[in-house]
Structure 1
């Protein structure tokens, strides 16, 4: 009888220890699963943050570096070297001046442009054309092309009101130009862009100086 009690006691204690072991194992597995879930969530959070950061960088890059802007084209200061005129019949004028043709490239990549010319006019009639040689304006730089311009009224028709304009003391001229080329980005991306210029020039005949220069 005592033997049976011992066996029963042993079986009861063994069963209890087995339950405790299984309970501990389940708890351990549950905690490990929680850790794995936390690690997965952290990993997904890092990946998501990385992709959001990449999207922001790409967007900023596209809006700044990759955005192609139209280059600027204008005349620099005009320095009159020589000026002769008469309002008597037949009225006429001759003028020599120096200036700069400025090509401003606001893009990060270079702007490669073809040869062209600047036309100087009086009342819409061509006086002379100055060549713009083929060239390149570096990224975020302005190319300055020096030019000496010689104007005279020989090509103007006699019916123009040049005499009265000269009597007013101010000679009004204009200049126009257009250049075409390509902006190169990242050494491979090329975007065609053209720049245009329309300038008005007012020459004070008394001082023989340019009193106004406006380019659009």
Structure 2
């Protein structure tokens, strides 16, 4: 009877050791290689695509801006973000909105997300500082974008993240160009 228990004890011991090795390996892989990392979102550029002003009616002016945001996925899994909106504000007042469509970025890849923003002049003209800025031929605006998404590793591990990106943009109407300084921040 003692001999029949010995193979059973050896089998249980080997199974326990293998199970511990598998669990330790899985945790090590998760916390080193497969742990979801935050996506890096950077506003690359804000360009002046058009500036139209009606010489006979100064309340009729439109500015079209092109906004390009790069989303870089450092994970060994994909990053999926939902529909979002880019906002353009002038001295604290929102003067334009532009949709950003949902997308999926593959593992260790990046994607440029571009959108066009139409700033309606009537919203700008209600601000008392607009005339002074037009006389200096430079208009300072702020572009902000928020992307909500999740990093997906091996279709098992998912981590939600929200990225905030903000750009201070100076539009020079004489040179027909823009300069921008951008900052990004990601929260889990």
Return the TM-score normalized by structure 2: 0.72
**CA–CA distance in structure 2, aligned partners of residues 171 and 57 of structure 1:** 54
Instruction: Specify which structure has the bigger relative contact order, considering alpha-carbon pairs within 8 angstroms and separated by 6 or more residues.
Output: 2
The alpha-carbon deviation at position 194 of structure 1 amounts to: 1.3
Tell me which of 159, 164, 172 is aligned to 1:191.
Answer: 159
Structure 1 or 2: more helix by fraction: 1
Which of residues 175, 178, 186 in structure 2 aligns to 1:207? 175
1:123 to 60, 66, 91: 91
* Distance change in 2, residues 1:92/1:165 (3 Å): farther
User: Residues 210 and 159 of structure 1: is their aligned pair in 2 closer, same or farther, counting only changes over 3 Å?
Assistant: closer
Unaligned stretches of 5+ residues in structure 1:
1-46
For 1:83, the equivalent position in structure 2 comes to 51
Equivalent positions of 1:5-44 (< 5 A) are none
- Report whether the alignment pairs 1:168 with 2:168: no
TM-score w.r.t. the length of structure 1 is: 0.64
Structure with a larger share of its residues in strand: 2
Greater gyration radius: 1
Counterpart CA distance in 2 for 1:158 and 1:98 is 23
Deviations 1:24-52 (A, max 9, x none): xxxxxxxxxxxxxxxxxxxxxxx9xxx7x
Is residue 46–residue 180 contact of structure 2 (8 Å, CA) maintained in 1? no
Counterpart Cα distance in 1 of 2:156 and 2:86: 30
1:134 and 2:80 equivalent?
no
1:67 aligned onto 2:35: yes
Deviation at 1:56, TM superposition (A): 8.6
Root mean square deviation of aligned Cα: 3.0
Note if contact 1:99-1:148 (Cα within 8 Å) is conserved in structure 2.
Answer: yes
Shift of 1:149: 2.3
The CA distance in 2 between the partners of 1:192 and 1:151, in whole Å, is: 32
CA distance in 2 between counterparts of 1:192 and 1:212 reads 29
Cα deviations by residue, 1:105-143 (Å, 9 ceiling, x for unpaired) = 122211111111111111121122111112211111112
1:110 to 68, 78, 81: 78
- Alignment CA distance shift 1:190-1:212 (3 Å): closer
* Unpaired stretches in structure 2, ≥5 consecutive residues: 1-16
Residues 142 and 84 of structure 1: CA distance in aligned 2, closer, same or farther (over 3 Å)? same
Contact 1:71/1:194 (8 A) holds in 2: no
Count of matched residue positions in the alignment of Structure 1 and Structure 2:
164
Give the aligned partner of residue 66 of structure 2. Answer: 98
